[in-house]
């Protein structure tokens, strides 16, 4: 559901919140876990009167019903086309292609779970879900960034290293113990997500000229000299002006823009240093 929400955002150009959506699903899961912690696991073994269905199937049916409603709405939006040219996405790409990366994650997860001789999905469920969960998180983060920057969804992703390792280890009859391969995949997936998130935060901070990942304020940059101001000028008028004996083609007082020496340009576009 979370991936579908951002996939729809990548198509239409805006994020739509439904009455029962990702947030409500997360709150429902947390409430179910809290309820289980208070009343115990045995509560879900009771059966519903008249139909005799165990209570453990009730949360699953509620989540499945909400998911089916959201999926049907998503395909309705998908059939109407996107915000790009000729009904494409915001990046002018196919509206169906964002489903390929997530489909690859699901393919590797199902194949590894089914073909595992050690039954990783049943014997090491938490480790298995954390591994493929972080792989899916990386693709979701990339989809969010692609929507914000109108970028193209790519299949070349380092997060797939772990699932590919597991797949080929099983293909060659597990020359390396599956348990240790799964642990290695989990470490790679978690590290990849954290590194990607940190790099995105640093790029945004560089663009906005703010400092993060530190408590103390960074040291101030040295003030530019008059000669540096004159060499980095960017005039937008015709009148010259004089600053401390130097004739400069313009200044801010006369309608000129003087670019300081510590002017920075990120790959997302030029920006000004903070005012002091």
pLDDT in tens, 211-225: 777 666 656 656 655
pLDDT value, residue 255: 41
Separation in Å, CA 210 to CA 22, 39, 196, 221: 31, 48, 19, 14
pLDDT value, residue 221: 57
The sign of the CA dihedral 270, 275, 145, 65 is negative
Provide, rounded to the nearest whole percent, the portion of the chain with pLDDT above 70.
77
* pLDDT at residue 78 greater than cutoff 60: yes
pLDDT value, residue 217: 63
- Place 50 in a pLDDT band, splitting at 50, 70 and 90: confident
The pLDDT of 60-82, averaged and rounded, is 86
The pLDDT of 104-113, averaged and rounded, is 93
* pLDDT at residue 124 greater than cutoff 80: yes
* pLDDT at residue 163 greater than cutoff 90: yes
* Inter-residue contact 99 to 7 (CB < 8 Å): yes
* pLDDT at residue 231 greater than cutoff 60: no
* pLDDT at residue 274 greater than cutoff 90: no
Q: Give the residue, 246 or 81, on which the prediction is more confident.
A: 81
Q: Which residue, 23, 79, 29, is CA-closest to 59?
A: 29
Secondary structure (H, E, C), the chain: CHHHHHHHHHHHCCCCCCCCCHHHHHHHHHHHHHHHHHHCHHHHHCECCCCCCECCHHHHHHHHHHHHHHHHHHHHHHHHCCCCHHHCCCCCCCCCCCHHHHHHHHHHHHHHHHHCCCCHHHHCHHHHHHHHHHHHHHHHHHHHHHHHHCCCCCCCCHHHHHHHHHHHHHHCCCCCCHHHHHHHHHHHHHHHHHHHHHHHHHHHHHHHCCCCCCCCCCCCCCCCCHHHHHHCEECCCCCCEEECCEEECCCHHHCCEECCCCCEEECCEEECCCCC
pLDDT value, residue 224: 56
* pLDDT at residue 141 greater than cutoff 90: yes
Q: Give the residue, 214 or 104, on which the prediction is more confident.
A: 104
pLDDT value, residue 168: 93
The pLDDT of 30-39, averaged and rounded, is 90
- Place 186 in a pLDDT band, splitting at 50, 70 and 90: very high
């Amino acid at each position: 559901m979370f991936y579908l929400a951002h996939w729809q955002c990548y198509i239409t150009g805006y994020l739509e919140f439904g009455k029962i959506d990702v947030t409500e699903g997360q709150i429902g899961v947390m409430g179910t876990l809290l309820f289980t912690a208070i009343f115990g696991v045995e509560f879900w073994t009771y059966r519903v009167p008249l139909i005799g269905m165990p209570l453990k199937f009730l949360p699953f049916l509620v989540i499945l019903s909400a998911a089916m409603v959201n999926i049907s709405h998503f395909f309705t939006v998908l059939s109407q086309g996107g915000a790009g040219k000729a009904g494409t996405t915001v990046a002018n790409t196919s509206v169906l292609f964002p489903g390929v990366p997530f489909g690859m994650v699901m393919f590797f997860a199902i194949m590894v779970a089914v073909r595992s001789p050690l039954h990783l999905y049943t014997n090491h469920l938490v480790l298995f879900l954390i591994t493929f969960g972080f792989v899916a998180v990386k693709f979701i983060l990339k989809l969010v960034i692609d929507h914000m920057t109108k970028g193209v969804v790519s299949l070349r992703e380092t997060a797939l290293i772990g699932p590919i390792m597991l797949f080929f280890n099983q293909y060659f009859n597990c020359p390396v113990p599956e348990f240790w391969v799964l642990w290695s995949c989990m470490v790679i997936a978690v590290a990849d997500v954290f590194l990607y998130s940190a790099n995105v935060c640093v790029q945004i901070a560089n663009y906005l000229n703010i400092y993060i990942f530190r408590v103390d304020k960074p040291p101030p940059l040295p003030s530019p000299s008059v000669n540096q101001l004159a060499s980095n000028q960017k005039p937008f008028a015709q009148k010259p002006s004089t600053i401390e004996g130097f004739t400069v083609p313009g200044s801010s007082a006369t309608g000129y823009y003087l670019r300081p020496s510590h002017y920075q340009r990120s790959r997302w576009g030029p920006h000004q240093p903070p005012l002091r």
